[in-house]
A and B are shown apart, each in its own frame.
Chain A
C-alpha cells in the first residue's frame, strides 16, 4: 500500500512542493507537551481515546486518520499547519477543546503540532499538496434585507434545512440519522448559537465551512456547486450571512439578575403574546449534571433564554430553549441509542433508549432568604427542600412541588400548579409559566415579593437525547427581581442636586467675573 502511494505520488507530482511554512520542528519536545497536556483526551497514540474521551460528545480528534473538521483546504485534503494551529490556539467552541493560546507558549504549540502530525501516515506523504482554497472577500450589504433574502433562498435550495432545519436549529428531517465517520451521534449545528460553532462565529468562518465542509462529519463541501455554476460565490456568501444573522451579534452575556418589569395591564399567558417582544431576555447556560450518580456528560440543551414580567398580583416567566425534537419522538430513538452507547455511564448496565419526554424545571427556595444562605442548588436536600415548577412535554403540564435532592420530588396538591402555555416550533420550546405572587400555602410555596433578589435556577431534559431523572442539564443559582415602578419621589434628589450644582456654578462664575473686574491684573490675565 505504501509503495502504491509512493508510486502514485511520483506520478502525480515529481517535484513535491514543501507545504509547511515553518521550519521542521523537533518532535521530541512536542511529544513532551503532548503527553502532558493532550494525551488525557486524545490518547497516548493520538487515536482520540484518552481517559476523558468516552465522556465527551463530540469526541476528541483522532489524529491517526488526519481528518480535520476546521480547515481552509478542500474536502478530503489534509489541513494546513495554520489550520491545525488555529484549532489549538483558539480551541473548538462548544466542545471540551480549550484555546491553548494563553496556556502554552508559541513554541510549545508549534512543537505539539509537529508531533501530532507524526500520528498519521498521510502527513508523511510529502506528495500531498496542502493548498488552501482561495477565498473571496465578503461582499458588502451583509445585513441588508435583500442579502438575507438571497441567503435564505439558497439556504433552502442547497438543502441546508435538510439537517439544520427550516429555522436553523439543527432539527431538519435528516438530523436524527447523523453520525460521524466512526459512527458517533452528531447534532446538526444549531445555527442560532454561533458562539458554539467549532470553526468560529464570524461570517467568513461560516463561508469557509460551506466551502470546505467539516470532514469526518455529515457536513459536505459546497465548493463543487460554484464550479458547476449552480450558485455564484457571492450567493454562497449570502448563505453565510444569512446563517450569521440567525445568532446574536455577540455570545450572550450571563447576567446574575433577571429583572421582571411591572406591567400595567394583564399578564401575558401565551408564549406568543406580543408583550414579550418588549421584555429583556436573559441567557443562562446549562451543563451536564456531573455531580450526583448517575452523571450525565452529554446534555443537549445548551442554555435557556428567560424573560419575566409581573403585575400587581401575578408573575409570568417565559422560557425559550432550543431542542431538536418534540419528545417523545420515535425518529430520534436510534440517535438516542447511539448517544447512550457512546457516553460512559455510572450505571453498571447502560440505560436503554426509550421515549422520554422533554422537560424543564424552575427552582426557587421555599422562601426568600434573608441572608446569603439558601438551599443546595442541585435540587435541595432532604432537610432543606426547594420549591420547583416542573413542566413536561408528555403529559403536557406543569406541576409545583418540593424537591428534596435529585431523587425525591413531592408534588404539592390543591391547585398549586403554575399556569403553563407551551409551543414547540422549529426546534424550539417556548413556555410561559404563571402564578399568583401570593398563595395560601406559605410554608411550602415561595411568596414572591417585589424589590427582593429571589434565587432561581433552571434544569432541562431533552428526552430524545436519553435525558431523564439525573441525566439532565443544570444551572447555578441566579436571581429573579420583580422591579417596582419608580416612585416620583425618587426624582426629587436629582432635581435638588442639579439645582445646587447649577447655583454653585453660577456663583463661582459670578465671583470670578467680579474679581476679574475689580483686580484688573489679579486673575484676568486674559489674552483677548
Chain B
C-alpha cells in the first residue's frame, strides 16, 4: 500500500507510531471489546492495567535503538522548545494540569462505596454434621450411591428431577449459576461448569453445602449474604446424593476424591463438552 508522502512521514515516525498504538489500543479496549459477542464492558481498573502494559511495550520499542529513541523524542522536544509551537505548548501544559487536577479531586473526594466483601468461597468444612438429627462424619465420606452401580441411572434420573424442581431458578439450565433468579443475589449462585467449584471439591463437601446452605456457612463464608437454602429442610439424604451425582454427570467433572485430597493430587478433570 502506498501512502502519500505526508502521511508516510508520520507513519514512519516512532513518536506518531507510539501515539497511534496507544489510541488504537484504547479504542479497542474501551469500545471494540464490549461489542464482541459474549463480552462485557471492561472495568476502568482493567483498562488502566491494559493501557499501562501497552505503554510499557511502546516505550521498550521506541527506546530499543538509539536513533529511534532520539527521533521519538524530537516532537516532544520541539513542542517544548520551538517558538512556532507556542500555542501547542501552552495547550499541552494546561491539559496536563487540568487532568492532574481532576484525577486528584476524584481521589480525595470521599464517596461511600460498598465495603469489600472478603468472603472465603470454599471455607473449611466441619468434620461432622448432624443431618436431620443423624450424625454424619464428612471426613472420608463418599457418595454412597456411587457404589450402587446397578441403579446409577435411576439415581441420576432422580438427581435430575431434584435439580430441575429446586436448583434451576438460581443455578440455571446450564448449571452455570445463571438461572433467571441469579442476578438478584449476591454472591451469585455457584457456577458448576467452572473448574473452580465442584471440580475442586469432594462430594462430602458438596453434600455439606447443599444440606446446610447459606446459614450453615462459617463466619468467613459470609453466611448472611448467601441465598442458598438449607436443603435438609426440603430434601432427603438420598435426594441430595442423587443431585450431586447429577451435577458431576451433567458437567462432566469428576469429584475430588479423598486420596487426591490427602495426596494433594490433581483434580479430576475429564471434561468432554464445553
| A, B co-complexed | yes
Q: Given A377-B225, A526-B78, do A37 and B109 touch, yes or no (CB 8 Å)?
A: no
Interface residue? A3 (CB, 8 A): no
Within 8 A of A (CB), among B126-143: none
- A502 to chain B: which residues have CB within 8 Å? 93, 97
A372 to B219 Cα, complex, angstroms: 10
A381-421 CB contacts (< 8 Å) to partner B: 381
Contact with A along B67-85 (1 / 0, CB 8 A): 0001000100110111010
Tell me which residues across on chain B come within 8 A of A256, comparing CB atoms: 113-114
Nearest opposing residue in chain A for B180, CB measure: A96
Q: Is the CB of A493 within 8 A of B104?
A: yes
Tell yes or no: A17 within 8 A of B by CB: no
A372 partner, pick from B78, B89, B184, B222, beta carbons under 8 A:
B222
Most chain B CB neighbours (cut-off 10 Å) among A98, A102, A494, A528: A494
Instruction: Flag if A103 contacts B100 (CB, 8 Å).
Output: no
Which of chain A's residues 366-390 have a Cβ closer than 8 Å to chain B? Answer: 372-378, 381
CB distance from B227 to the nearest CB of A (A): 6
Given A453-B114, A493-B108, also A477-B225 (CB < 8 A): yes
Q: What residues of chain A lie closer than 8 Å to B164, measured between beta carbons?
A: 40-41, 50-52
Q: Is the CB of B185 within 8 A of A476?
A: yes
Chain B residues with CB under 8 Å of A479's CB are 112, 114-115
Q: Are B98 and A52 in contact (CB under 8 A)?
A: no
* Chain B residues with CB under 8 A of A105: 274
How long is the Cα–Cα vector from A380 to B122 in the complex, in angstroms? 23
Cβ of A501 under 8 Å from chain B: yes
Q: How far is the CB of B219 from chain A (nearest CB, A)?
A: 7
Is B4 in contact with chain A by the CB < 8 A criterion? no
A257 & B113 in contact (Cβ 8 Å cutoff): yes
CB of A498 within 8 A of CB of B101, answer: yes
Across the interface, do B174 and A37 meet the contact criterion of CB distance under 8 Å? yes
One of B101, B112, B181, B228 near A453 (C-beta < 8 A): B112
Q: Does A509 lie within 8 Å of B89, measured CB to CB? A: yes
- Which of A149-157, A284-292, A425-433 lies at the binding interface? A284-292
B81 touches A373 (CB 8 A): no
* List of B residues within 8 angstroms of A477 by Cβ: 186, 224-225
> How big is the B interface, by class?
35 or more
- Taking CB atoms, residues of chain A closer than 8 Å to B109 are 486, 490
Asked if A101 lies at the interface with its beta carbon under 8 angstroms from chain B, I say yes
Q: Confirm or deny: A230 has a beta carbon within 8 angstroms of a beta carbon on chain B.
A: no
Supposing A40-B163, A257-B113, A376-B224 touch, asked if A98 and B96 sit within 8 A by C-beta, the answer is: no
Distance in Å from the Cβ of A198 to the closest Cβ of chain B? 13
Q: Are B93 and A506 in contact (CB under 8 A)?
A: yes
Is A72 located at the chain interface by the 8 A CB criterion?
Answer: no
Report whether A291 and B229 are in contact in the complex, using a CB–CB cutoff of 8 Å.
yes
CB distance from A238 to the nearest CB of B (A): 30
Q: Whole-angstrom distance between the alpha carbons of A502 and B90 in the complex?
A: 10
Minimum Cβ distance to chain A for residue B74 (Å) = 7
Determine how close the nearest CB of chain B comes to the CB of A89; give it in whole angstroms.
10
Nearest-Cβ distance from residue B252 to partner chain A, whole angstroms? 11
A residues 95-124 in Cβ contact with B at 8 Å: 95-96, 98, 100-103, 105
- Cross-chain contact of A259 among B112, B174, B213, B224 (Cβ < 8 A): B112
Interface residues of A in 241-288 (CB under 8 A from B): 254, 256-257, 259, 285-288
Query: Which chain B residues lie closer than 8 Å to A101 at the CB level?
Result: 37-38
Q: Which residues of A contact B214 (CB under 8 A)?
A: 291, 376
Q: How far is the CB of B115 from chain A (nearest CB, A)?
A: 5
Q: Is A203 an interface residue (CB 8 A)?
A: no
Are B112 and A494 in contact (CB-based, < 8 A)? no
- Please tell me if the beta carbons of B227 and A96 are within 8 angstroms of each other in the complex: no
CA distance A259 to B213 in the complex (A): 32
Q: In the complex, are the beta carbons of B160 and A40 less than 8 A apart? A: yes
**Is B17 interfacial (CB-CB < 8 Å)?**
no
* Chain B residues, CB < 8 A from A288: 169, 181
Q: For the complex, give the distance between the alpha carbons of A390 and B73 in Å.
A: 67
- Among the interface residues B116, B160, B173, B215, which one has the most CB atoms of the partner chain A within 10 A? B173
A524-B101 contact, Cβ under 8 Å, with A290-B229, A452-B112, A479-B114 = no
**A477 vs B187: C-alpha distance in the bound complex, in angstroms?**
10
Select one of B80, B93, B227 contacting A476, CB under 8 A. Answer: B227
Contact B100 A498 (CB under 8 A): yes
A19 on the interface (CB 8 Å rule)?
Answer: no
Expressed in whole angstroms, the Cα–Cα distance for A378 and B174 within the complex equals: 26
Residues of B within 8 A of A495 (CB): 101
CA distance A513 to B85 in the complex (A): 12
Q: Which of B9-68 contact A (CB under 8 A)?
A: 37-38
Report the minimum CB–CB distance from B89 to chain A (whole Å).
Answer: 6
Contact B169 A498 (CB under 8 A): no
A411 to B110, CA, bound (A): 36
- Cβ distance A493 to chain B, nearest Cβ, rounded Å: 5
The interface bits of chain A over 153-197 (1 if a CB of B lies within 8 angstroms of the residue's CB, else 0) are 000000000000000000000000000000000000000000000
The answer to whether A498 touches B97 (Cβ under 8 A) is yes
Residues of B within 8 A of A501 (CB): 96-97, 100-101
Say yes or no for B5: interface residue by CB 8 A criterion.
Answer: no
What would 13 more interface pairs be, CB under 8 Å, given A50-B164, A501-B101? A51-B164, A98-B178, A103-B174, A256-B113, A257-B112, A451-B110, A453-B114, A476-B184, A476-B186, A476-B225, A478-B114, A509-B93, A528-B82
14 residue pairs A–B, Cβ–Cβ below 8 Å: A51-B161, A96-B168, A290-B170, A346-B234, A377-B225, A378-B227, A453-B113, A490-B109, A502-B93, A505-B93, A516-B77, A524-B81, A526-B77, A528-B82
| A-to-B contact residues, CB < 8 Å | 36-38, 40-41, 50-52, 55, 95-96, 98, 100-103, 105, 254, 256-257, 259, 285-288, 290-293, 297, 346, 372-378, 381, 451-453, 474-479, 481, 483-484, 486, 490-491, 493-495, 497-498, 501-502, 505-506, 508-509, 512-513, 516, 523-526, 528
Chain B: residues with CB nearer than 8 A to chain A? 37-38, 70, 74, 77-78, 80-82, 84, 89, 92-93, 96-98, 100-102, 104-105, 108-118, 160-161, 163-165, 168-170, 172-174, 176, 178-181, 183-186, 213-215, 219, 222-225, 227-229, 233-234, 250, 274
Q: Sorted from nearest, which 9 A-B pairs have the closest CB atoms?
A: A481-B112, A40-B164, A52-B164, A256-B114, A287-B181, A512-B80, A287-B184, A498-B101, A476-B186
